[in-house]
Amino acid sequence: MVKKKVPDWLNSSLWSTTTAPPPPDDDRPQRYAAPKPVAAAASAAEPPVPVVAPPAPAPTHVHAPVPVPPRDVVSVQQEPPKPQVIVSDTRPSNSDRNDDENGSFVQPQLLSELSKKVINVRELRRIAMQGIPDGAGIRSTVWKLLLVYLPPDRGLWPSELAKKRSQYKHFKDDLLVNPSEITRRLDKSTIYESEGWKCESSGFLSRSEITHDEHPLSLGKSSIWNQFFQDSEIMEQIDRDVKRTHPDMHFFSGDSSFATSNQEALKNILIVFAKLNPGIRYVQGMNEILAPLYYVFKSDPDEEFSVSAEADTFFCFVELLSGFRDNFCQQLDNSVVGIRSTITRLSQLLKEHDEELWRHLEVTTKVNPQFYAFRWITLLLTQEFNFADSLHIWDTLLSDPDGPQETLLRVCCAMLILIRRRLLAGDFTSNLKLLQNYPPTNISHLLYVANKLRTLG
């Protein structure tokens, strides 16, 4: 096979230019130019995103996220060979993006679009694809729009936000309570009120007032206590996983009241989600997908948005998982829409663009893509890069008009191509170690190559 030369588009100065320090944040009297339907935003920027430790081990297994209408099944078919992309392994010494260069023209465009009475979501996606600046709370608002939590019409924001936040409060009031309190509520509504009693609960129910299904030892399917004890196992798993979420970030970990409140918010979201979706429940790894959303929304300088981050995150989390539901469903693992089929699509994408690398990995060294791609895909690359870089990758995943699933596969394919020299020189052991501990890379370069794969596809 004749090895093609490196394409000219890889010689861009984007990843060879030295990164300059970011400019100071603008002191804006208000968050956007147009009148806001919510409280005025502070001018402070989001807190700096810390760099976290190397990736954690892959989850044991992940199941289906959210019950939504089935999407069209896409079967993988063989197509005629297409031009391959051979990329040199030119990895910069740091993984920082040129935020100064990109943000200087992207931020004004985003602020201009967000200030319109009716936001053009297509145009917003186009701008956000170039990267969303870290400051001014822009990412928080853009992500909510891209995840269809906020409507394009800014005039509808106050009513929509009030409705969703009230709905989440009701979820918590109904689902995050002890069965004793549920029994007490039922007892008050069915007995006390009907007989005109006006007494206050003393904290305990008399034995005569407890029905069979309300007894703590009842094993009936309709027993609230039986359900409570089943839920306890999931709650314990959620508690363990949340405490392990980004342990090197003070935002999530530590003994401070701030970290503790953030952990409680994550647990509340995951418990409510599990109870509202009994066929899905909670599975290990969901906490890693939840963390970036909550971090971005909680870091919003607008206090009204920040204080409601838990409710906003819940609905955006549900929407995000709905796009990847088939990858998480164990019953669909071997179907045309399950995780194995998704990994096969990644394998075929690599073969299409770099057959030499594909053959060396899967035929010569016999590195099964499931050994590394399962974690890449199910956790949306949150464990392969530091937290700041993960946010930038998510900017692209959420804003790409092709949808996060297709974009994610292109990014994963680009990750393989960017380290092709090391992979071609390696054996099974060295390659598997490299792919399970992906080296630092320039994120702008990675996303640029991933976008090129779309144009050459």
The DSSP annotation for 18-60 comes to PPPPPPPPP--SSSSSSPPSSPPPPSPPPPPPPP-PSPPPPPS
Whether residue 23 is predicted with pLDDT greater than 80 in this model: the reply is no
Q: Using CA atoms, how far apart are residues 443 and 244, in angstroms rounded to an integer? A: 26
Q: Give residue 16's pLDDT band: very low, low, confident or very high (50, 70, 90).
A: very low
Q: Give the torsion sign (CA, 16, 20, 21, 23).
A: negative
DSSP state of 153: B
Q: How far is CA 236 from CA 61, 213, 239, 373, in A?
A: 17, 24, 5, 28
Where residue 180 falls among pLDDT bands split at 50, 70, 90?
Answer: low
Give CA–CA dist 137/47, Å, rounded.
10
Lowest mean pLDDT among 103-112, 131-140, 297-306: 103-112
Give dist(CA 183, CA 186) in Å, integer: 5
Q: Does residue 266 contact residue 291 with C-beta atoms inside 8 Å? A: yes
User: Positive or negative, the Cα torsion across 76, 77, 82, 84?
Assistant: positive
Residue with token string 């054996």 = 427
Q: Would you place residue 86 in the very low, low, confident or very high pLDDT band (cuts 50, 70, 90)? A: very low
Contact in structure between 140 and 296 (CB atoms under 8 Å) = yes
CATH number of 155-195+211-323: 1.10.8.270
132-164 residue pLDDT tens? 998 788 999 999 999 999 999 999 999 999 999
CA angle 239, 382, 107 (to 5 degrees): 120
In whole angstroms, give the CA distance from residue 87 to residue 447.
13
What DSSP designation does 234 have? H
> How many Å apart are CA 126 and CA 112, to the nearest integer?
13
d(CA 435, CA 376): 10
Of the ranges 84-88, 104-108, 129-133, the best mean pLDDT one: 129-133
pLDDT top residue among 55 and 243: 243
- Residue 385: how many CA atoms within 13 Å on its side-chain side? 25
User: Sorting pLDDT into bands at 50, 70 and 90, what band is 6?
Assistant: very low
Q: Are 349 and 410 spatial neighbours (Cβ–Cβ below 8 Å)?
A: yes
Q: What angle do CA 339, 386, 329 make, to 5 degrees?
A: 15
User: What pLDDT score was predicted for residue 117?
Assistant: 96
Per the listing, tokens 């130019």 go with 33
Per-residue b or e along 118-142, where b marks 16 or more CB atoms closer than 10 Å to that residue's CB? ebebeebbebbbbbbbbbbbbbbbb
| The pair of three-digit structure tokens given for residue 97, joined into one six-digit string | 């993006």
Distance of alpha carbon 375 from alpha carbon 114, whole angstroms: 35
- What are the distances in angstroms from CA 21 to CA 18, 97, 98, 100, 101? 10, 11, 9, 7, 10
Q: What is the pLDDT of residues 226-248, one digit of tens each?
A: 666 667 889 999 999 999 999 99
Over residues 211-221, the mean pLDDT reads 50
Homologous superfamily of the 33-71+82-153+329-456 domain (CATH): Ypt/Rab-GAP domain of gyp1p, domain 3 (1.10.472.80)
pLDDT band at 326 (very low <50, low <70, confident <90, very high): low
Nearest to 87 by CA among 5, 13, 1, 17: 5
Which tens digit of pLDDT belongs to each residue from 56-77?
444 444 444 444 444 333 333 4
Amino acid 339: pLDDT: 80
Kindly write down the DSSP assignment for every residue of 296-329, as one continuous string: HHHT-SSHHHHHTHHHHHHHHHHHHHHTTHHHH-
Task: Report the percent of the chain where pLDDT is more than 90.
Answer: 52
Query: Which residue ranges make up each domain of the chain?
Result: 33-71+82-153+329-456, 155-195+211-323
Give the mean pLDDT of the chain.
76
User: Got the DSSP string for 387-428?
Assistant: HHHHHHHHHHHHH-TT-HHHHHHHHHHHHHHHTHHHHHT--H
The one-character DSSP state at 437 is: S
What is the amino acid identity at position 405? Answer: Q
CB 64 within 8 A of CB 328: yes
Q: How many whole angstroms separate alpha carbon 26 and alpha carbon 300?
A: 16
Distance of alpha carbon 33 from alpha carbon 142, whole angstroms:
16
The residue assigned the tokens 């292109």 is: 410
Structure tokens at 285: 């790894």
Give me the mean pLDDT over the 305-314 stretch. 97
